Amino acid sequence: MEHNRTAYVILGMLSIEPSKSGYNIRKAIESSVGYFWSESYGQIYPTLKRLAAKGLIAPSQSNSAPKQRRQEYSLTEAGHACLQEWLALPFQNDPPRNEFLLKLFFGREAAPSVSIAHIRELQKRNRHMLASLEELDALAHAHPSQNPHLPYWMLTLSLGTALTRSALVWGESALEQLTALDAAAPANPQPAESSAAQEKP
């Protein structure tokens, strides 16, 4: 219990919409901060218990619609203060992990076609990503709202679209360079995979 950001995401979600259940929080995370954060039930439920034990959140009745027997929670004063305290702390750079770049870096160990295929796949994923982000943006513009959170949400959105667009531009150029490389070096480095590649680490 030291560097546990799960707790803060939960607090943050409850600060936006008071009284949510664990299931609900997970859904909300997926559909909002899902582009840059994720949490699993295995983290959420135990953390909810812990937060409640510490008095940072409190169980609240699902008065609105008692459809399912589910436990909802809402932020306490202490919880809100705790969230604000964390927000003011400097953010940390999470350890970098990008398997795409890793494979591209080792690309010369395989045929150029392998790297080309990876980049094509990246382009595909990024086009989908961009479409989702632009849809969100259009949605926000179509339903103008005074939601005070919105300026902040739009900022995260605009960074996402900027980075995705940038990656797409890079992808086109990278594809050109790699196809040129492929043409220039017919019998390139490693011809193909030997038939005896059974072992996995």
Partner DNA sequence: CGTGGCATGTAAACGGTTACATGATTTA
Partner DNA sequence: TAAATCATGTAACCGTTTACATGCCACG
d(CA 171, CA 59) in angstroms, rounded, equals 49
Cβ-Cβ contacts under 8 Å for 93 (sequence gap 6 or more): none
Q: Which does residue 12 touch among a copy of itself, DNA, none (CB within 5 to 8 A, set by kind)?
A: a copy of itself
Q: Applying CB under 7 A, which of residues 36, 63, 64, 97 lies at the interface with DNA?
A: 97
Q: Applying CB under 7 A, which of residues 3, 141, 143, 200 lies at the interface with DNA?
A: 3
Q: Applying CB under 8 A, which of residues 9, 28, 133, 136 lies at the interface with a copy of itself?
A: 9
Which residues does residue 74 pair with via DSSP β-bridges, in sequence order? Answer: 58
Residue spans of beta strands (DSSP E) within 31-184: 57-60, 72-75
Residues in 107-126 that interact with DNA by CB under 7 A: none
Residues in 41-80 that interact with DNA by CB under 7 A: 41-43, 45-46, 48-49, 67-72
Strand order in the sheet with 72-75: 20-21, 72-75, 57-60
Helix, strand, coil percentages (3-state) for the chain, rounded to 5, are: 65, 5, 30
Instruction: Give min distance, CB of 94 to DNA, in A.
Output: 8
Instruction: Give min distance, CB of 59 to DNA, in A.
Output: 10
Instruction: Give min distance, CB of 168 to DNA, in A.
Output: 26
| Binding of residue 5 to DNA (CB under 7 A) | yes
Read off the tokens for 117: 């295929």
d(CA 195, CA 193) in angstroms, rounded, equals 6
Number of H helices, E strands in the chain: 7, 3
Q: Applying CB under 8 A, which of residues 24, 32, 60, 123 lies at the interface with a copy of itself?
A: 32
Stretch of 20-28, 65-73, 99-107, 137-145 contacting a copy of itself, by CB under 8 A: 99-107
- List interacting residues with DNA (CB under 7 A): 1-6, 21-24, 38-43, 45-46, 48-49, 67-72, 95, 97
